[in-house]
Amino acid sequence: MLDSSPPTVHINHGVWKNMNSFKTAALLIILTLLFIFIGGLLGGRQGMIMAFGLAVVMNFFSYWFSDKIVLKIYRAQPADESKHRRLIALVRNLTQRGQLPMPKVYIIPTQAPNAFATGRNKKHAAVAVTEGLMQLLNNDEIEAVIGHELGHVRNRDILIGSIAATVAGAISILASMARWAAIFGGYGGRGNDRGGNPISLLIIAIVAPLAALVIQMAISRTREYKADRASAEMTHNPLALASALEKLHKAPVQLNLDKRPSTAHLFISNPLSGKGMVNLFSTHPPVEERVKRLREMARSGLPVK
């Protein structure tokens, strides 16, 4: 029987909140400047004006609706109170231990075993798990995964993660537009003010995806360690999360969600397959290191810094 007493909090929430607020503002500024810059290359001054307007709209929707966008991308459906009673009970129990508001719970209809949390803040949070995760993990492991996602909620990671997904997706779209524009000779074509230089467009097509990757990495791998620690504190069972991470890591590659790199950083387990240089630029820390830290927590009874 797990101890239901409130967990000891080892995170300076004020400092972490300020850091995430700064990162969120920085992401919105970067998005605006990037849109204006690319708009200028594509269409000169007129393109810059249009890009600025688009950036304002994107900023608004990123802040208020990025969570809904991500849930819709994965066709997540609200968990049914009767069909998913066990899952909802686990979430409710952990939110009580972590002294958090009850988030909305969603099911993602895929056999890929994974989970993520999203939302603007603690009062507007959502936790989504896949059908594959529910089938692959046992009860303790599912609880540990939910604890990890609630750790993101408690640590105020969810807004910046959702915005980063929207930003990275938008940048990928811009890169695709620039690539096609370069193939067909650019936009405009009359005078330097109209933009559309094929060389500039080609540079955008190459650099923009890298910029999206940098934005995702800017979210920082440390957030995963902090969420792992929060799960251990709420469940008092770090070995369950270690076991869950190992199972998720060993899941067949064909089951991984590897077609949406712009949202990879949201998940508890990196859905992108690959090693070597690909792993070097991963949005997640190595699973082996995460498991090692969790096992050290179990042996010492204290979070590993």
Domain ranges (residues) in the chain: 13-300
CA distance 66 to 119: 8
Strand order in the sheet with 104-108: 77-78, 104-108, 125-130, 115-119
Q: Which helix (H) or strand (E) holds 119?
A: strand 115-119
Using CA atoms in the order 221, 224, 226, 229, what is the torsion angle rounded to 10 degrees?
-140
Q: What is the pLDDT of residue 117?
A: 93
Return the pLDDT at 282. 62
Of these residues, 141, 149, 224, 233, which one is catalytic? 149
Q: Which residues contact 263 (CB under 8 A, 6 or more apart)?
A: 70, 73, 116, 165, 168, 169
Only one residue has tokens 């042996």, namely: 299
CA distance 183 to 198: 8
149 is catalytic: yes
Q: Which residues contact 18 (CB under 8 A, 6 or more apart)?
A: none
Closest Cα partner for 33 from 11, 4, 16, 54? 54
Q: Alpha helices of the chain — where are they, by DSSP H?
A: 13-73, 85-97, 131-136, 139-154, 158-183, 198-218, 222-235, 238-249, 277-280, 287-300
Q: For the chain, 305 residues long, give each residue's pLDDT as a single digit of tens.
A: 444 444 444 445 555 556 656 766 776 677 677 777 777 776 777 877 877 777 777 767 777 887 888 899 899 999 999 999 999 999 999 999 999 999 999 999 998 899 999 988 899 999 999 999 999 999 999 999 999 999 999 988 877 776 766 666 677 776 776 777 666 665 544 444 445 567 767 777 777 767 666 666 666 667 889 899 999 999 999 999 999 999 998 887 555 555 566 677 788 887 765 554 445 456 678 899 999 999 999 998 765 54
Global pTM reads 0.73
* Pair 118, 268: CB distance under 8 Å: no
